[in-house]
Amino acid sequence: MDTAVNTIDVSPDPLPFFRKQTIFLTGGTGCLGGCILYKLAMKLDTAKIYVLVRGSRERGISQLKDIMPNQTDDILATKKVQFVVGDITKKNFGIDPAVLTEMARTVTIVIHSAASISLTSPQQECVRNNCLPVLELATIASSFRKLSKFVFVSTAYVNHHLPDGVVEEKIYPAGDAEKLLSQIIQMGTVSKGLAGYSHPVPYTLVKNLTEQLLVSRNPSLLVLIARPTIIAPAISQPYPYYTRHGSCPGSNYVQRYMEAPDSGIFHVSSLHPKGTNIFDEVPVDIAANVILLHIMDGTTGVIHVGAGSYVRRTLAQLHQDIIDHFPRRSNSRCPEFRYLSDKRVAQGRYAEFLKIFGRDWNFSSAASQKFSALEGPLSIALGNHDAGKFMGERTRRLGDEVVRRRSSGVSAKL
């Protein structure tokens, strides 16, 4: 499945498009989904947004207030949002049948951003949270009479079998996805993913499986698979450094490293003895804009949503930020980072856990290049934004947080 070449010109003004859309958004209380919800309600004048929330409407609003304390009331005041109580692990997402009937009549776009982003969940649990719900939603959406787009938020790290270098915006051929799914459901765990390659964590294996199954089982659905790389805090919307606690893996790493440094040894390829491989982070508001731009532009297929639409920074730059803002106790040494191609020397525990540190994938963002100079509410142009300063300030804030936690005797969960 390659990204379709668009025939539609990029519209400079997204409002006429979004004013006509009724959107069903899952994960709207999450880091990415919350930012998408903010954009849809506050910046794009979307006709209506059904937002799936767990538990109750009140819990949904409280989740939103946690991440957007000063914006939630404004979002609600637009009267564009209808909360839909449900759970993605249930049949029909547990949605009230009357609401589903109404949605079947009105929804034009589905954006599925809900997931469990835990990297430690076992495979079966990951399938329950991150694969079966996508397939269930495709079935639900098949009754949506006006549906023009089904967006599945996947991850850029689905292709662990690929060597370092360019990763294209496409589904790479793999093995029998149906067989693998039933093996995981029956046996609980499999040692290798599709095409017989191993994944460092179940999360990436299951997202890969889901992409394949979504497309193979739903040939007539107009699917956009958005693959973010590592989501970072927002540049400016809903507000600078917006995030949901724990949902920005780069920030989690920085904070945990500052709290409990390890040996600082990273296995890298011999091409990057100084850690010059890419550590691909994208601010969440850029990510939201890229996804919304492709929805507006009618893209189908796979898109990368990463530093290719922002600024490609290296692992060494991330580490320099840690060195610059490391909250030192008296007598403690500044952390040191070493990049070794000799894999006989054990790497540190963070590198060992999140095996992407040493990779140097260059996620193509060719499909988004045409948006780079666009102005307006979905602009991804950076103007005078300085990525180095922005990420450095992110790290300084995390360092301050570490100091605060230390003085109150709390430490981050590893």
User: Of 153, 223, 288, 398, which one interacts with ligand NAP (CB under 6 A)?
Assistant: 153
Counting contacts by CB under 6 A, is residue 62 touching ligand NAP?
no
Neighbours of 295 (CB within 10 A): 23
Q: How many residues bind ligand NAP (CB under 6 A)?
A: 26
2 backbone dihedrals φ, ψ, rounded to 5°: -95, 160
Residue closest to ligand NAP, measured at CB: 30
Cβ proximity to ligand NAP: between 157 and 371 the closer is: 157
Of 51 and 265, the one with the shorter C-beta distance to ligand NAP is 51
Closest CA to 359 of 287, 282, 266, 227: 266
* Residue 123 zone, left/alpha/beta (φ > 0; ψ -120 to 50; rest): alpha
Q: Is 27 in the site for ligand NAP (CB under 6 A)?
A: yes
Q: Which of residues 342-381 bind ligand NAP (CB under 6 A)?
A: none
| Among residues 71, 123, 155, 320, the one that binds ligand NAP under rule CB under 6 A | 155
User: Which residue lies nearer to ligand NAP by CB, 128 or 267?
Assistant: 128
Residue whose CB is less far from ligand NAP, 42 or 52: 52
H or E stretch including 109? strand 109-112
Cβ distance to ligand NAP smaller for residue 251 or 317? 251
Contact of 17 with 297, CB cutoff 8 Å: no
Stretch of 30-38, 212-220, 355-363, 366-374 contacting ligand NAP, by CB under 6 A:
30-38
Is 52 or 254 the residue whose CB approaches ligand NAP more closely? Answer: 52
Among 175, 200, 240, 249, binds ligand NAP (CB under 6 A): 249
User: For ligand NAP, which residue of 61, 68, 88, 167 counts as binding (CB under 6 A)?
Assistant: 88
Give me the least distance between CB of 114 and ligand NAP, in Å please. Answer: 3
Q: For residues 357 and 349, is the Cβ–Cβ distance under 8 A?
A: no
Q: Token digits for 31?
A: 């880091």
32 binds ligand NAP (CB under 6 A): yes
Positions in 107-146 near ligand NAP (CB under 6 A): 113-117, 129
HEC readout, 214-283: HHHHCCCCCEEEEEECEEECCCCCCCCCCCCCCCCHHHHHHHHHHHCCCCCEEECCCCCCCCCCECCEEE
202 contributes a contact to ligand NAP by CB under 6 A:
no
Residue 282 in the binding site for ligand NAP (CB under 6 A): no
Choosing from 14, 21, 24, 31, the residue that interacts with ligand NAP (CB under 6 A) is 31
Q: Exactly one of 3, 21, 22, 29 binds ligand NAP (CB under 6 A); which one?
A: 29
- The residue type at 178: E
Q: Which positions ≥6 away from 350 have C-beta within 8 Å?
A: 253, 256, 257, 262, 357
Phi/psi at 339 (nearest 5 deg)? Answer: -115, 110
Residue 89 in contact with ligand NAP, rule: CB under 6 A: yes
The verdict on whether omega for the bond into residue 122 sits within 30 degrees of 0, i.e. cis, is no
Task: Report DSSP state, residue 9.
Answer: P
**Closer residue to ligand NAP, CB minimum distance, 46 or 155:** 155
CA–CA distance from 153 to each of 25, 82, 132, 246, 338 (Å)? 11, 21, 14, 18, 34
Choose the stretch contacting ligand NAP; rule: CB under 6 A; options: 27-35, 363-371, 387-395, 400-408. 27-35
The CA distance from 53 to 65, in Å, is 13
Site for ligand NAP contains 72 (CB under 6 A): no
Least Å from the CB of residue 113 to ligand NAP:
4
Query: Whole-number minimum distance, CB 24 to ligand NAP, in Å?
Result: 12
- Give the amino acid at 350: Y
Residue 230 touching ligand NAP (CB under 6 A)? yes
**Euclidean distance between the first and the last CA atom of the chain, given in angstroms as a whole number:** 37
Q: Rounded CA gap, 221 and 128, in Å?
A: 22
Please report whether residue 75 would count as binding ligand NAP according to CB under 6 A: no
Contact between 210 and ligand NAP per CB under 6 A: no
Give one DSSP letter per residue of 52-100, joined into a string: EESS-HHHHHHHHHHH-TTTHHHHHHTT-EEEEE--TTSGGGG--HHHH
Q: Using CB under 6 A as the criterion, which residues of the chain lie in contact with ligand NAP when the complex forms?
A: 27, 29-33, 52, 54, 63, 87-89, 113-117, 129, 153, 155, 228, 230-231, 244, 247, 249
